[in-house]
Structure 1
């Protein structure tokens, strides 16, 4: 069964925002301050700015290939199956780890409200929350998205009121005192550590297959979430730095709550604010955990579809949710809950995200350079490829400044992933990546590798993305002959070329067919003017036989001289059909007429660079579904 498309812009925003606001705001600021002092404010700002290349590249790929698995799917199809395997495991691990941290945070902040809870009871609270969110996700992605939206609104309201009150109490002198020692190495190291705070922003790509109109919803929801959360991070860390002393901030386990106790002097208001911020923290961890389980579970689903993992992981319930993948992810998260070291695991999770972002940026460069006709993102990265190159450089610098332990952990993890691929997966998977095609093109070698399978898969994704129904007309266009000329022809020369192609496919005498074309055109010209001055031609003839129907697509950029008056035609749709196909013949003519009137069709047709792209333009054009 297919995943259900039920998520809209607001759902994307709430998933992205909810996935970002958690440990990065309620726990990590004190860890960051301990290493970099008030310069942690700069680290948070830099981490957000450095997210931009990854965000933009991810959105381009997600709007072109809105499939479950997100980062894994792009990297596997573009850079190859072994890279995809490593990326899939890394993507799944990093999201699951961030969710585990959030669930532990739920137990930690529950202890602030109920201080008599034992460590085991706190673990039970975290585990219980994991089970609850797993059940919500199993029940419905739409329900998970809606519940996420409600919680995110409450969270943002609480945080906004803290900013509006807290900025007036912040002491600039405290901020300056905390920033007396400038250490660029510490700032970069902390930037890499808090990078996980923004990592949830790009994880919505993992649920892109379930988003309605991803070209708009993914882009709008993600950018709005980024702007709001980036602003909150910087403002709140600044306020805390101006309210708590350096020692208080460094030792605080709940810096927002501790800051609130100093900002509010009235005992009742102080107590209310502390409870309110503790509630906000719990909500933040809930939204991160919920979004994380939803996004992480789509990675094993996508890998199972590609035979990277056992088939059972790809099972989708009648409700349109990947049940086994959710259960598998949740069990892994439950294991992580009982063995976490906050600082090291935050760095490891950030490192995996940075590795993935490097591969994502490289993927955009590769897929663009292949000039594949069916790669048609609705959002394109500006400043290509400069933005991607800058991203790769900065992400590499961040990784190198994280220390040896996270790097060794990542190397071991990636080695195991690649080993799994070569031992268990390689014999089942035989896909050619876009990278291979690009290398062959750059080397100007004879193209030995066929990209038809990948082009066909991309086309299927486009049709699914744009919710284009496929009917008999679509199937005929998929198999149609496409003639793309770059020389001036007259009508007889064109008819001769068409007749040769028809003769090859249908075993019809070429001379007889050409004669039929001329007789039909001489009786009544088939020129049409679809709202523009330049006409199109739709010659159509009846041939002997049964169950014969075909459409030839023709474009000539230099123009075809159509008649004695010198009328120039650039586009021709030639229809052939036997007598028993007359009804469908008329319906096909109606479909072509609708396509010619479709907004943007003529421009897309004229700008298409390959015959395959011409076919894609026809298939994606808006028209009514053809009942047969």
Structure 2
């Protein structure tokens, strides 16, 4: 496994629930609602409302899978990081670069939309406007993610309020005849248009890139994602409904300012100015969020050495400064690309990301990695994931051959970077290897991924490496072979304790025999814990025993047995050690994890990651 390049460090956890909500919502509510409805209406007719709803439902399935994987692996560049650890370096590198590119495209798309509104009041080249704004956003982000998130929250509050005013006042002016015929372009057009407007929900996945900077990610990330999607789906559906109902088709079709035009139709000049101001705020919000999120993908790629390591350098203000600068340059460059090509490219890549998120959950769960421990689990597994994959692929094909060609081109470019750069670096273990190992019964994977996931969970839970963790790390693990006759189990324990260098082995062997005769205290059925004082100074060691056939200790039959060894001067450590063990073994899934874990060294991970209070 490659080392982390010099100059890299962990990003500060400074973002709360409102910050996550603002990043996701701000990244979604922009061109997807202030520009796209006119283009989408020209393709699907009044049924475009359903296109937005259908796209949102497909996004919801991807969101559930993303929330699960993010709570297990809250790291910068979350989508890339998850795919890399699930599908391997080739797929991971392609996904990371494509998502970085698509988020930059989304920022550029927002800037083009912003230019369309500015041109209403001033005659300016959108490329000049976009370049200036990109540099302004770069300056804000270089000051720190917290400062950028504050700007984001202010913008989101304003644009949600403006859209709320537009919807509430506009509902009374909706004309039913504007919806007839409803699916005037045919139902195929409704679904193909859903693929086009899917980019409107792309900001939902933008949150994964700042997962490492989120406080209490196990709760904050899924809740922030859920709230953002619900709010945005409601606003999108109602805003498109009102716009379709107040504007004639000829005026709405291909308009680049559809919501503003709708506001002018029933609120006059003041309404047009209000909604235009909201649109400007939305475009600024999206472009800003795009820089925040896409730069974290370059950071994650650099950490894994799949792109040059200097791209992952973190500044004194704890932001990925080099990645931010390169992302800004990309956004400026793509301002020269055709508008519809921008939409198609961004939507296609974002749909592919949803496919990968759903597939990742299936691979991670079926690989049965011990240390894959999401705080939130997607419901109705695997049906949500299967429907999400099928629905996403359906959208891509409905978008036509140009979308497929764009996707193929981006994937090819990403694979070229992997082949000529990332491939020659050290390889990395991934979950698909564990799944293949499980299905074929052959050993392909080592311990690197399990070790990495263990450390990620420990950091996520914000728990320091304490005295108990040290004792677990240095513990003697004895895994009684299943074929061992029950009468021979005790003798096997004695031999293994001596072979593994157990302190005061003779006394420990005698204690085993005593326990076998007199029994052991059970903290729960099948789990025994004992204490023995041994010779020496400052000794605190654990002997961890697993016996799937259940070890006979007096009248007790235990599958897990823990012997706490202390020297006389550490005798007081026994009680907190037993308290820690008791909290861990009482977990609902402890027995299942303990008995199904294949490698005995992974038994330590069950204790390292178990829920307990810190031990002094």
TM-score (norm 1): 0.89
- Confirm or deny: 8 A CA contact 1:500 1:510 kept in the other structure: no
- Confirm or deny: 8 A CA contact 1:591 1:624 kept in the other structure: no
- Confirm or deny: 8 A CA contact 2:118 2:124 kept in the other structure: no
Instruction: Please state how far the C-alpha of 1:459 moved relative to its aligned partner.
Output: 0.5
How has the CA–CA distance of structure 1 residues 393 and 147 changed in structure 2, closer, same or farther, with 3 Å as cutoff? same
Cross-structure match for 1:391 = 388
How has the CA–CA distance of structure 1 residues 247 and 441 changed in structure 2, closer, same or farther, with 3 Å as cutoff? same
- Confirm or deny: 8 A CA contact 1:516 1:541 kept in the other structure: no
Question: C-alpha separation between the residues in 2 aligned to 1:481 and 1:507?
Answer: 7
Give the counterpart of 1:401 among 398, 403, 416. Answer: 398
Aligned length: 604
How has the CA–CA distance of structure 1 residues 123 and 450 changed in structure 2, closer, same or farther, with 3 Å as cutoff? closer
Instruction: Please state how far the C-alpha of 1:392 moved relative to its aligned partner.
Output: 1.6
Question: C-alpha separation between the residues in 1 aligned to 2:127 and 2:344?
Answer: 23
Cross-structure match for 1:426 = 423
1:142 and 2:146 matched: yes
Instruction: Please state how far the C-alpha of 1:83 moved relative to its aligned partner.
Output: 0.6
Cross-structure match for 1:538 = 530
1:168 and 2:162 matched: no
Question: C-alpha separation between the residues in 1 aligned to 2:578 and 2:148?
Answer: 42
- Confirm or deny: 8 A CA contact 2:20 2:207 kept in the other structure: yes
Cross-structure match for 2:4 = none
Cross-structure match for 2:287 = 289
Segment of structure 1 superposing worse, 410-419 or 221-230: 410-419
Q: Which deviations, in whole Å up to 9, do the C-alpha atoms of 1:264-316 show, x marking residues without a partner?
A: 2xxxxx22221111110011111111211111011010011101011111111
1:343 and 2:340 matched: yes
Segment of structure 1 superposing worse, 487-496 or 354-363: 487-496
Instruction: Please state how far the C-alpha of 1:218 moved relative to its aligned partner.
Output: 0.7
Please give the secondary structure, in 2, of the residue aligned with 1:551. Answer: strand
- Confirm or deny: 8 A CA contact 1:520 1:540 kept in the other structure: no
Question: C-alpha separation between the residues in 2 aligned to 1:489 and 1:590?
Answer: 33
Q: Which deviations, in whole Å up to 9, do the C-alpha atoms of 1:338-359 show, x marking residues without a partner?
A: x132222101111111122222
Q: Which deviations, in whole Å up to 9, do the C-alpha atoms of 1:578-614 show, x marking residues without a partner?
A: 56xx33x63364133144246x844232231315664
1:9 and 2:17 matched: yes
Cross-structure match for 2:564 = 575
How has the CA–CA distance of structure 1 residues 394 and 491 changed in structure 2, closer, same or farther, with 3 Å as cutoff? closer
Q: Which deviations, in whole Å up to 9, do the C-alpha atoms of 1:122-160 show, x marking residues without a partner?
A: 433322222222222221212222221222111111111
Segment of structure 1 superposing worse, 478-487 or 291-300: 478-487
Give the counterpart of 2:521 among 527, 530, 533. Answer: 527
Question: C-alpha separation between the residues in 2 aligned to 1:413 and 1:161?
Answer: 40
1:502 and 2:497 matched: yes
Instruction: Please state how far the C-alpha of 1:511 moved relative to its aligned partner.
Output: 4.9
Name stretches of at least 5 consecutive residues in structure 2 with no aligned partner. Answer: 1-8
1:331 and 2:329 matched: yes
Instruction: Please state how far the C-alpha of 1:400 moved relative to its aligned partner.
Output: 1.6
Give the counterpart of 1:77 among 85, 106, 118. Answer: 85
Cross-structure match for 2:273 = 275
Give the counterpart of 2:103 among 92, 95, 111. Answer: 95
Instruction: Please state how far the C-alpha of 1:527 moved relative to its aligned partner.
Output: 3.1
Matches within 5 A, 1:303-342: 303-337=301-335, 339-342=336-339
Cross-structure match for 2:579 = 593
Question: C-alpha separation between the residues in 1 aligned to 2:183 and 2:456?
Answer: 54
Question: C-alpha separation between the residues in 1 aligned to 2:248 and 2:469?
Answer: 68
Please give the secondary structure, in 2, of the residue aligned with 1:168. Answer: helix
Please give the secondary structure, in 1, of the residue aligned with 2:10. Answer: coil
Q: Which deviations, in whole Å up to 9, do the C-alpha atoms of 1:184-243 show, x marking residues without a partner?
A: 222222111100000111220111111111111111111111011001111111111110
Cross-structure match for 1:19 = 27
Please give the secondary structure, in 2, of the residue aligned with 1:473. Answer: helix
Cross-structure match for 2:68 = 60
Cross-structure match for 1:465 = 460
1:116 and 2:122 matched: yes
Please give the secondary structure, in 1, of the residue aligned with 2:561. Answer: strand
**Aligned-residue CA RMSD (Å):** 2.7
Give the counterpart of 1:413 among 391, 404, 410. Answer: 410
Q: Which deviations, in whole Å up to 9, do the C-alpha atoms of 1:402-423 show, x marking residues without a partner?
A: 2223322321221122122122
- Confirm or deny: 8 A CA contact 1:175 1:238 kept in the other structure: no
- Confirm or deny: 8 A CA contact 1:174 1:241 kept in the other structure: yes
How has the CA–CA distance of structure 1 residues 570 and 317 changed in structure 2, closer, same or farther, with 3 Å as cutoff? same
Please give the secondary structure, in 1, of the residue aligned with 2:307. Answer: coil
Instruction: Please state how far the C-alpha of 1:364 moved relative to its aligned partner.
Output: 1.3
Cross-structure match for 2:372 = 375
Q: Which deviations, in whole Å up to 9, do the C-alpha atoms of 1:427-468 show, x marking residues without a partner?
A: 212113221221232123x31x23300100010111011111
Question: C-alpha separation between the residues in 2 aligned to 1:313 and 1:44?
Answer: 37
Cross-structure match for 1:604 = 589
Cross-structure match for 1:480 = 475
Cross-structure match for 1:267 = none
Matches within 5 A, 1:350-361: 350-361=347-358
Segment of structure 1 superposing worse, 509-518 or 142-151: 509-518
Matches within 5 A, 1:444-463: 444=441, 446-447=442-443, 449-463=444-458
Cross-structure match for 2:194 = 191
Question: C-alpha separation between the residues in 1 aligned to 2:338 and 2:613?
Answer: 57
Instruction: Please state how far the C-alpha of 1:37 moved relative to its aligned partner.
Output: 0.9
- Confirm or deny: 8 A CA contact 1:490 1:561 kept in the other structure: no
Please give the secondary structure, in 2, of the residue aligned with 1:572. Answer: strand
Instruction: Please state how far the C-alpha of 1:559 moved relative to its aligned partner.
Output: 4.7
1:618 and 2:607 matched: yes
Segment of structure 1 superposing worse, 295-304 or 413-422: 413-422
Name stretches of at least 5 consecutive residues in structure 1 with no aligned partner. Answer: 265-269
- Confirm or deny: 8 A CA contact 2:112 2:130 kept in the other structure: yes
How has the CA–CA distance of structure 1 residues 14 and 504 changed in structure 2, closer, same or farther, with 3 Å as cutoff? same
- Confirm or deny: 8 A CA contact 1:306 1:429 kept in the other structure: no
